[in-house]
Structure 1
Amino acid sequence: MSIKVTGKIERKGIGPGTWALVGEDGQSYELHNAPGDLKKSGIQVTVEGQVREDVMTFAMIGPVLEVTKFEVKD
């Protein structure tokens, strides 16, 4: 399923650590294979991607989101 989410990037210290997108509605998404430019805690972004229901993770903080496109907000 393809979605577009606006929110804030956060580094979660669960297990080996993971990057998450916390949407404006409070929903957390675990970023799957996030680009390096997206791995900056606290930045506001709009991310487009695919929710991967076939991927499991140790963190299990929310749906896994594979990023296809993103824009950093000012």
Structure 2
Amino acid sequence: MSITVKGVIDRKGFGAGTWAIDSEQGETYEIHNPPSELQKKGLKVKIEGKIRDDIMTLAMIGPVLEVKKFEIAK
């Protein structure tokens, strides 16, 4: 399923840690293999991507979002 998520990047401290986006709607999505540009806590972004139902993670903080493209908010 393809979605667009607007929100703020956060580093969640579970295990080795994982990058996530906390959406404006209150949902948290774990970012699958985030590009280095998205690995900045507090960054406001819009991410277009795909929910990966075929991936399980150790963090289990929410749906896994594979980034197709993104914009950093000005």
Taking structure 2 as the reference length, the TM-score comes to: 0.99
Structure 2 gap ranges (5+)? none
Moved over 6 A (4+): none
Over residues 35-66 of structure 1, what are the superposed CA-to-partner deviations in whole Å (9 max), with x where a residue is unaligned?
00000000100000000000000000000000
Taking the aligned partners of 1:67 and 1:22, their CA distance within structure 2 comes to 14
Structure 1 gap ranges (5+)? none
Taking structure 1 as the reference length, the TM-score comes to: 0.99
Aligned to 1:59: 59
How many positions carry a matched residue from both structures? 74
Percent sequence identity over aligned pairs: 58
Aligned to 2:45: 45
CA RMSD after TM alignment: 0.4
